[in-house]
Amino acid sequence: MIDIFVCSKKCEFTKFLFHAVSDKEFIKVNAKKSKFPCLKCAGECHKKFDRLQCAGCLRWLHLECSPLVESEYGKYISSNSGNIYTCSTKCELKMLPFCCLDEYGFTKYVSHAKMHYAAQYQSKRARQSKIKCLRNESENTPSSLCEYLDPQQVRDVVNEDCLNDLTVYHSNVCSLRKNLDKLFETFQDGLKLPDLIGVTETRLDEHLTEIDIDNYDFEPCFSNTQAGGVGIYVANYLEYAVRRDLSLNLPHCEDIWVEIFSSSRKSRTKFEDGKNMVVGIVYRHPGSQYKTFCERICNTIDDMNRCNKNFIIMGDVNVNSLKYNTVGTVTDYLQSIEGAGCLSFIDKATRVVKRGNRWETSCIDHLYSNIEPARMKTYVVTSDISDHFSTLAKILDVNAIN
């Protein structure tokens, strides 16, 4: 008889004629012979071997049968480390407070996780496709009053300002409570936020909760519908007053106006005497009439010009300015705005939507101002707070504005 060497019971088992059994069957048979069988090889887990116990299923595993390296072994066997070992995701879930998951619940959880990561991946791919579409469109635009800005670059623009620069940011958030965190992510790791932050489609009621930003005051205008609503955050180093007299007072339209005072008694003065600035945030609901809205906003612009006020108006007015000179109502609207005594500074797409196999671009988030272009830097920020991009205006040295 020839003696042969085998390293384990499993290898010994394979030498027999009836060895064609699966690993699962082998472990099931040999587990009965061992007091502490290894989860993988079914061999005995003696104290003299390096071994691990799963905190979820309480079964044992040789160190060499586990995916761990020897250097990681110590942190799981030390009583002071607080680390626990689990052999699978299912056992890891058992250690969580909501561990009462049956097989169906576990499968549902894993499926939900896959869907979450798939949605994130699709969102990233969609944003990349949007940016590519915008770049192609920019190449066909010979000149522009604004430029595109990545969210990572926003912090640089805001933090570059000197004492007398003023930054105003606007975003259609499609529910402020839902997307406030995304609004913060745009300025993550930045030294400071813009001086004023306007938001449209806030979808708030009068019971305001969980929408505060530290060191900012919030002024809202509510909507009578489930959609709409606007608001503006004003940094608390600026003194201001809400200008109710400038309100458009239109159905299916919300707007809020604030005047930043030059005679600031607070720590950071922006303006010299006589250099007050009015900032308006406007949301016009889709489908409401161009004509009435155009008349009211032009009258407001006339009033501010007569009072010699510098102003910035930002918001979502649902008028696609990219159709200027191709659609009569859009052409009339923009000509009326400019005829009232200001410029429309955003002339790039602020919304990109996929229709079938193609992307459709529109510019419905506008910025109007009577400040000369040489004193203004305006941007379209390719953020993904909602299906709208954001807009940013930086006024250079407000004290030098006529």
User: DSSP per residue over 52-63, as a string?
Assistant: EE-TTT--EEEG
Q: Which residues pair with 388 in a beta bridge?
A: 351
- 351 vs 112, more confident: 351
Could you tell me the pLDDT band of residue 265, with boundaries at 50, 70 and 90? very low
Of 71-75, 178-182, 249-253, which gets the smallest average pLDDT? 71-75
Mean pLDDT is highest, among 101-110, 125-134, 180-189, for 180-189
| Alpha carbon distance 115, 113 (integer Å) | 5
- Whether the pLDDT of residue 28 is over 60: the answer is no
What is the percent of the chain with per-residue pLDDT over 90, rounded to a whole number? 37
Class of domain 148-400: alpha beta
The CATH number of the domain covering residues in 9-96? 3.30.40.10
- Whether the pLDDT of residue 77 is over 70: the answer is no
Q: Which strand (E) or helix (H) includes residue 336?
A: helix 328-339
Residue among 141, 201, 142 at smallest CA distance from 174: 201
Residues recorded for the chain: 402
Residue among 148, 150, 200, 118 at smallest CA distance from 386: 200
**What pLDDT score does 71 carry?**
63
For residues 277 and 311, the answer to whether their CB atoms sit within 8 Å is: yes
| Alpha carbon distance 214, 282 (integer Å) | 24
- Whether the pLDDT of residue 39 is over 80: the answer is no
**What pLDDT score does 74 carry?**
64
Nearest 10 degrees: Cα torsion 97, 103, 104, 107: 80
Kindly state the tokens that stand for 255.
Answer: 């707007």
| Alpha carbon distance 390, 172 (integer Å) | 7
- 232 vs 88, more confident: 232
Could you tell me the pLDDT band of residue 281, with boundaries at 50, 70 and 90? very high
Mean pLDDT is highest, among 6-15, 45-54, 237-246, for 237-246
Q: What is the pLDDT of residues 355-375, one digit of tens each?
A: 777 788 899 999 999 999 989
Residues 139-151 as b/e (b if ≥16 CB within 10 A, e otherwise) read eeeeeeebebbeb
**Which CA distances in Å does 100 have to 85, 96, 289?**
19, 9, 55
- Which residue in this structure is represented by tokens 């339209």? 253
